[in-house]
């Protein structure tokens, strides 16, 4: 892997190509990311680049003469995090991720990775947390069929038989049942970059990408090109 960047999802729109064909695209605010640490084989046992994305305020803890604490920016960067970012010479970041890039040794602390690291026509893999849908039944979650909706049926949208009787007297692991749906890591492979706006740090990707608006998306050079 030679190219990767962190982005946030702006939303979906559509663009027209020169031949008049319409393409649905997902707009991503990609970077700028900054290099916060460089992992080396000598020090860490492997080679990688750690990057930060989106500024984050510092957590401040004040004490009065009675020892009572007042916390400002409770969810801000802790002292340990502040020291880590200060060592790299960058401001505190909300998202920190590592990329095992082939050319990791070529990066320097504080260096910026912008949207123009990708170009039109590149194939990428996009990873994000899918939208959470709460507790859902077997019909919506697993695509199972419902029963008759007539009044006397008494079986409409229930799970139905689980297949266990005196033998094997248990429910097999992996059985599709009602439960929590969504809010899991999803990777969509082999997506195409349609357009890159380096000035506004925008990347337009053909098709849909998991997750809600403003959600974090990890973009990497695809591991397998199809078509």
- Give the CB-side neighbour count of residue 4, counting CA atoms within 13 A: 26
Confidence label for 227 from pLDDT (cuts 50, 70 and 90): low
Q: What is the pLDDT of residues 185-194, one digit of tens each?
A: 999 999 999 9
Is domain 4-221 given the CATH code 2.40.30.10 in the classification?
A: yes
Cα dihedral angle (86, 199, 218, 44), rounded to 10 degrees? -40
Burial of 219 (0-12, 13-18, 19+ CB in 10 A): buried
Q: How many residues are recorded in the chain?
A: 227
Written as one string, the DSSP assignment of 52-84 is EEEE-PBPEEEE-TT--EEEESTTSB-HHHHHH
Confidence label for 168 from pLDDT (cuts 50, 70 and 90): confident
- The residue extents of the domains of the chain are 4-221
Q: Once rounded to an integer, what is the mean pLDDT over residues 173-179?
A: 89
Quick one: which H or E segment has residue 87? helix 79-88
Q: What is the pLDDT of residues 61-100, one digit of tens each?
A: 888 888 888 888 888 888 898 999 999 899 999 999 999 9
What pTM was estimated for this model as a whole? 0.83
């Amino acid at each position: 892997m030679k190219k990767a960047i962190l982005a946030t999802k702006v939303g979906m729109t559509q663009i027209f190509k020169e031949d008049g064909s319409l393409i649905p695209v997902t707009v991503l605010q990609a970077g700028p990311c900054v290099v916060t640490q460089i992992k080396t084989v000598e020090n860490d046992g492997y080679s990688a680049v750690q990057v930060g994305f989106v500024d984050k305020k510092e957590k401040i803890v004040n004490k009065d003469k009675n020892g009572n604490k007042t916390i400002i920016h409770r969810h801000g960067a802790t002292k340990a995090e502040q020291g880590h970012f200060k060592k790299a010479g960058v401001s505190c970041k909300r998202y920190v991720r590592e990329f095992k890039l082939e050319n990791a040794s070529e990066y320097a602390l504080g260096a910026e990775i912008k949207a123009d690291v990708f170009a039109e026509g590149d194939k990428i893999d996009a990873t994000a947390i899918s939208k959470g849908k709460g507790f859902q039944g077997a019909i919506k979650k697993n695509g199972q069929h419902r029963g008759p909706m007539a009044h006397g049926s008494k079986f409409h949208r229930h799970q139905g038989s689980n297949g266990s009787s005196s033998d094997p007297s248990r429910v097999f692991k992996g059985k599709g049942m009602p439960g929590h749906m969504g809010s899991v890591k999803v990777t969509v492979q082999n997506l195409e970059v349609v357009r890159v706006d380096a000035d506004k740090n925008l990347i337009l990707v053909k098709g849909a990408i998991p997750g809600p608006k403003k959600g974090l998306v990890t973009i990497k050079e695809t591991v397998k090109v199809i078509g």
